Structure 1
Amino acid sequence: MAELVMCEPTELYNILNQVTKLSRLTEPNYLCLLDVRSKHEYDESHLITARRVKQEKNQYLIPESVDLDCVRYCVVYDNNTTSLDSLAEGKDDDDNTDKDKGRLLLGPAIECGKVLKEFTRHPVSILRGGYECFSAMYHFLRTQKIIWMPQELDAYQPYPVEILFRRLYLGTFSQACDPKIQKDLKISAHINVSMEVGPFFVGDPNKLLHIQVEDSLEANISSFFRHLCHFIDVHLELGSVILVFSKLGISRSSTAIIAYLMHQREQTLKRSWTYVKKCKNNVCPNRAFVNQLLQWEEIILGGLITGNLDQLY
């Protein structure tokens, strides 16, 4: 039996925007996103790809089209549940509060999650803050669309993943060229770690840092680390929203993001790598870039701490 855990809004945002060759939302066993609000609320607006959970005789009905035992992420949301602890079971004592009364205090998402966890191997996640919080933060991921055809999911353009809340994003060249993404995320500065020239901020060195480097074993990216860290620091102080990108957002731009987190948080390569990997699960800097990140770790921390590189991949 699986457990119930809280899912932060940023975590769900990143889950929704994972990419292989196509959006991972095209994979039938990747994400099961469930809405336990009323039919009226669901029809008015819900999160992209969310299915409404129906009730019959006060019992939540598991969607028949989903094999929960095979689903990697199962996320449930109601309007505004914020904690698993604050809605605890009632006590069986002299205060006339019994377990049945306690259960009435549980949010709908938690009640539904308790049913679902009997059928899945992975934890069932409850979205912290529910629909109200998530839709306020990521309004562009709301929809009234109920049925998604496979070709529509194939054509869906994911957003860059969020590294620092509403401030720093990691993405691809095509995402950096998409004006809707720039508008929705309020992007105001770019770090382009590729040979290609993007369409935004060209000729404005205050808003564009273009690191022209190939994704090859001969490329030297570490000579740009101090400059890119300074660029990001300055823009974060100014309140800018920064998108770091390369052709596929896998090697060069992820190297840049990892280098920045090592600098900003004064932490090891392994810890920074793990954090970025959690945000974007297909990051994979090439071996030459990893060796340069190890040298950067020695500079940042005064010594080499990360050991076996095979553990990173």
Structure 2
Amino acid sequence: MCLRAFIFGSHRLFFFLNIFVLFPVGLFFFYKRTHYRVDKSRIVPSILTRRASSKHAAPCREVNGTANCSNSNTLPPFVSAESTSEEGLLVPATPERANIQRGYVTPQQVYNLLNAEAGQPALHDPNYILILDCRSAERYKQSHLVTARASVTVMHPELGCLISCVQLQEFSIILLYAEEGHSPVGSEEARHDSMPLQRCFFQLSTLGMDPVILLGGYSAFHSLYPFLCTPRMILLESERRSLTIYPSEILEGALYQGSAAQAHDYRIIKNLHITHVVNATAESTDAFPSVVRYLRLRLNDDAQQDLSEALPAASRFIARALRGSPGVPGGRVLVHCSLGRSRSSVLTLAFLMEQRCWSLLHAFRWLKERRGCAAPNAGFLRQLSDYEEQLFGERLTSLDDIRL
């Protein structure tokens, strides 16, 4: 009887311990994590913040369950004969999106994550992104993604998580990568590709994290962005603040949008192979006229600024630069204003509308997914709405649907 009473009393004690101690603690950590993700929503693209509602949500809007690297960015960035009606108006088109396996992000998405800005560069925040290199220690020491840590310093094969789960909860994004690989998580092919990555992925998932995997691995990223790979281990916030932040990539290997400071950094111009620049400022000079072709528009970030000539001029300039000419391959264009938010955004949107035949809403959503800080002023948006009617013969977008 005494033993039975003791056992019964222990069960009651454990029950009340769960109700009054463990449950509130769990609620605190859950609130802390979700609250932090909401605070970070301005710098974490919606493709990643939606992971909270589905453990392996797709990084692109259209998902068919297969890993397919096709991307509409490779399409000709200008209007074809089939894009116009008999009246000479554009025929609206819908952006084509890559079909990416759930739980993966593309190298371009990672590039834009590393260079995201919201008031200040997101990468300067040590709790913004945790990148875990799941390759061998030797390969990590040779070169890795900037700010990446060797996975075994965080997730030990036998001991599990080597940092507190509270610290792990602080990160807005957890990114894993192997040397290469496109196989679905958990498949036999994936286990063969990289056992350490698979083990790390499921360890983190067990802890309630939502890690994503770099599609194509280090090899795919390095082939496109070698300047964002380094042998240096960068952990301290002071070291992060010394990193170069690059313009956002709007169309892969073609169109970029950023700030005047970035347009004046020759290392950025060289690394991105920029051949043409649209300078939308009235105050910033053309930094490298001997090596780069410029379109200077001298706009003010003022809702009353007239854009009737600037929008078609910028669109034509960008299209010609990307198309190239006989014997001259297409180039790469950087569109910039002072901070890369308002004036540059309105010019980028006009190009996407006119040369891709996208409605203002489709163009805006495309831009915001790649440059979260893009925010054209209200007067610019109204003029873009007028431009949409001029291009398509009708207003396709309600400005009430535009969310800055």
SS of equivalent residue, structure 1 residue 155: coil
Query: How do 1:1-313 residues align onto structure 2 when only pairs under 5 Å count?
Result: 2-3=55-56, 5-54=103-152, 58-59=157-158, 61-64=160-163, 67-84=167-184, 88-89=187-188, 104-105=191-192, 107-108=194-195, 109-120=197-208, 123-202=210-289, 207-238=293-324, 239-309=330-400, 311-313=402-404
State the shift of 1:57 in Å: 7.8
The answer on whether the counterparts of 1:23 and 1:157 sit within 8 Å (CA) in structure 2 is: no
TM normalised by structure 1 equals 0.87
CA distance in structure 2 between the aligned counterparts of 1:259 and 1:176, rounded to whole angstroms: 20
2:78 aligns with none
CA distance in structure 1 between the aligned counterparts of 2:285 and 2:182, rounded to whole angstroms: 40
State the shift of 1:65 in Å: 6.1
Change (3 A) 1:63 1:30: farther
Change (3 A) 1:300 1:41: same
CA distance in structure 2 between the aligned counterparts of 1:63 and 1:135, rounded to whole angstroms: 28
The answer on whether the counterparts of 1:195 and 1:213 sit within 8 Å (CA) in structure 2 is: yes
SS of equivalent residue, structure 2 residue 223: helix
1:232 counterpart letter in structure 2: I
Change (3 A) 1:175 1:57: closer
State the shift of 1:134 in Å: 0.5
State the shift of 1:256 in Å: 0.8
State the shift of 1:74 in Å: 1.4
State the shift of 1:28 in Å: 3.0
State the shift of 1:224 in Å: 1.2
Count how many residue pairs are aligned between Structure 1 and Structure 2.
298
CA distance in structure 1 between the aligned counterparts of 2:342 and 2:390, rounded to whole angstroms: 21
State the shift of 1:59 in Å: 4.4
2:105 counterpart letter in structure 1: C
TM normalised by structure 2 equals 0.68
Change (3 A) 1:103 1:312: closer
Change (3 A) 1:298 1:249: same
State the shift of 1:172 in Å: 0.3
State the shift of 1:200 in Å: 3.1
SS of equivalent residue, structure 1 residue 33: strand
CA distance in structure 1 between the aligned counterparts of 2:303 and 2:378, rounded to whole angstroms: 7
Please, which moves more after superposition, 243-252 or 104-113? 104-113
Change (3 A) 1:59 1:291: farther
Provide the identity percentage: 30
CA distance in structure 2 between the aligned counterparts of 1:60 and 1:78, rounded to whole angstroms: 21
SS of equivalent residue, structure 2 residue 347: helix
State the shift of 1:118 in Å: 3.0
CA distance in structure 2 between the aligned counterparts of 1:288 and 1:120, rounded to whole angstroms: 44
The answer on whether the counterparts of 1:49 and 1:146 sit within 8 Å (CA) in structure 2 is: yes
1:97 aligns with none
State the shift of 1:58 in Å: 4.2
The answer on whether the counterparts of 1:54 and 1:60 sit within 8 Å (CA) in structure 2 is: no
State the shift of 1:305 in Å: 1.7
The answer on whether the counterparts of 2:133 and 2:177 sit within 8 Å (CA) in structure 1 is: yes
The answer on whether the counterparts of 2:312 and 2:350 sit within 8 Å (CA) in structure 1 is: no
CA distance in structure 2 between the aligned counterparts of 1:236 and 1:208, rounded to whole angstroms: 14
SS of equivalent residue, structure 1 residue 80: coil
State the shift of 1:60 in Å: 7.9
The answer on whether the counterparts of 1:172 and 1:245 sit within 8 Å (CA) in structure 2 is: yes
State the shift of 1:113 in Å: 1.8
SS of equivalent residue, structure 2 residue 176: strand
SS of equivalent residue, structure 2 residue 104: strand
Change (3 A) 1:288 1:124: same
CA distance in structure 1 between the aligned counterparts of 2:193 and 2:127, rounded to whole angstroms: 28
Greater C-alpha radius of gyration: 2
The answer on whether the counterparts of 1:161 and 1:169 sit within 8 Å (CA) in structure 2 is: yes
SS of equivalent residue, structure 2 residue 222: helix
1:62 counterpart letter in structure 2: C
Report the RMSD for the aligned CA atoms in angstroms. 2.4
SS of equivalent residue, structure 2 residue 349: helix
Q: Gaps (5+ residues) in structure 1?
A: 90-101
SS of equivalent residue, structure 1 residue 229: helix
